């Protein structure tokens, strides 16, 4: 091929080759996972069967029950063991004497706690919206739903799998595991036992277990083959089991090359607060990705940030729209920024909106076979140009 046409062919093909490298076709070929955060908590009171079912109906691949223990050792789904803000317990005179103050992970908390109630007593309570001022539509369902057990969540998921014919997973989080261990209500043993009893006992099971602590994930890694998720907040914070052990390391230390390599020995997924991956500037606007996603991928970890919420009050300032703090802003642009950065999934309060964003992103990325066809087309273009050049009279 004459030099000008070789050069033209390279020029045409180079953007495709560079695009293929930048997007990482092997990773882009996998559809990022949608995790229904506490169910569909933008629309129904969180951690209720109604919230989980709606999340599944909206296309969530997994639903997330945060797990705490009752007095009689039953795992139930609540974001915190303090339930004054998520149930009607404060209005129940028969439980007025249960109000107390405890120290949970170093913080003094006053209210009503699941470990002071039997399951039978908790079942008399009804769930309420945690942030009714922000989500009045969800608050309209206050008083309608019970506090579900882990087993009830599993039963729901299996029923929906049978109804829909599609795989649905669960991603339980152990809440305050060191605290519950100290009060004699360890979370790990009943969790693993319940999962095994329901057939969730292998690395290929549609279940992951999460924790903000490290020691209990290391323990769980010896107890079960299901995949494990290391949660983390800001870089400067410390896992509470580190605090108890006098370990001065922070979550930021876990994000170093050494920390991520050590994490991969016991966990499969890194799940940080999303600002760790793409920070906001001093005005609250979204900036550029850090190296954490690439660093974690090199260590062999998937990356799934939390939490994506549609309301303006939770969005970066540059993605907020009119209508007030509770109106929905441009969350699709936020999803897209993280998907382009290479995350493997998202935790979302509005699974339908996450599903829409993920599906649109996947549709916009050419399949590997399409890349091959396009590159072949450019190569053939070069051959054609070469032939035509030879046909031009001297």
Q: What is the pTM of this model?
A: 0.87
User: In the prediction, which pLDDT does 174 show?
Assistant: 98
Nearest of 41, 134, 140 to residue 326 by alpha carbon: 134
**Cβ–Cβ < 8 Å for 179, 204:** no
Query: For the chain, which ranges sit under pLDDT 50?
Result: 4-28, 371, 378, 381, 383-394
Tell me the per-residue pLDDT of 117-127, one tens digit each, with 9 for 90 and over. 999 999 999 99
Other Cβ atoms less than 10 A from the Cβ of 373: the count is 12
User: What is the C-alpha separation between 313 and 37, in angstroms, rounded?
Assistant: 18
Task: Name the DSSP letter for residue 237.
Answer: -
User: In the prediction, which pLDDT does 81 show?
Assistant: 98
User: In the prediction, which pLDDT does 365 show?
Assistant: 85
Tell me the per-residue pLDDT of 45-59, one tens digit each, with 9 for 90 and over. 999 999 999 999 999
Strands 227-232 and 269-272: parallel
User: What is the C-alpha separation between 335 and 345, in angstroms, rounded?
Assistant: 10
């Amino acid at each position: 091929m004459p030099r000008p046409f070789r050069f033209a062919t390279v020029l045409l093909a180079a953007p495709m080759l560079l695009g293929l490298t930048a997007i990482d076709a092997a990773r882009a070929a996998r559809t990022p996972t949608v995790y229904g955060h506490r169910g569909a908590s933008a629309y129904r009171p969180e951690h209720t069967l109604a919230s989980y079912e709606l999340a599944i109906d909206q296309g969530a691949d997994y639903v997330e029950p945060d797990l705490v223990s009752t007095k009689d050792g039953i795992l139930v789904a609540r974001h915190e063991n303090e339930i004054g803000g998520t149930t009607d317990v404060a209005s129940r005179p028969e439980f007025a004497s249960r109000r107390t103050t405890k120290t949970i992970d170093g913080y003094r908390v006053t209210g009503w706690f699941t470990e002071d109630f039997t399951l039978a007593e908790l079942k008399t309570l009804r769930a309420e919206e945690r942030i009714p001022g922000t989500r009045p539509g969800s608050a309209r369902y206050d008083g309608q739903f019970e506090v579900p057990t882990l087993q009830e969540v599993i039963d729901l998921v299996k029923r929906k799998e049978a109804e829909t014919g599609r795989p649905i997973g669960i991603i339980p989080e152990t809440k305050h595991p060191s605290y519950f261990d100290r009060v004699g209500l360890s979370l790990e043993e009943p969790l693993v036992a319940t999962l095994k009893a329901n057939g969730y006992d292998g690395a290929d099971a549609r279940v992951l277990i999460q924790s903000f602590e490290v020691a209990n994930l290391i323990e769980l890694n010896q107890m079960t083959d299901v995949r494990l998720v290391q949660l983390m907040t800001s870089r400067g914070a410390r896992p509470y089991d580190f605090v108890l052990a006098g370990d001065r390391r922070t979550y930021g230390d876990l994000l170093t090359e050494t920390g991520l390599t050590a994490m991969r020995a016991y966990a499969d997924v890194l799940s940080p607060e999303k600002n760790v991956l793409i920070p906001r500037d001093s005005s609250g606007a979204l900036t550029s990705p850090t190296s954490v996603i690439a660093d974690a991928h090199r260590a062999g970890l998937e990356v799934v940030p939390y939490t994506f919420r549609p309301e303006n009050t939770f969005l970066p300032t540059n993605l907020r729209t009119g209508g007030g703090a509770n109106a929905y802003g441009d969350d699709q642009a936020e999803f897209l920024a993280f998907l382009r950065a290479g995350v493997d999934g998202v935790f979302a309060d509005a699974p339908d909106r996450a599903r829409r964003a993920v599906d649109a992103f996947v549709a916009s990325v050419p399949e590997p076979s399409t890349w091959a066809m396009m590159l072949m087309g450019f190569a053939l273009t070069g051959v054609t140009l070469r032939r035509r050049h030879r046909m031009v009279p001297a």
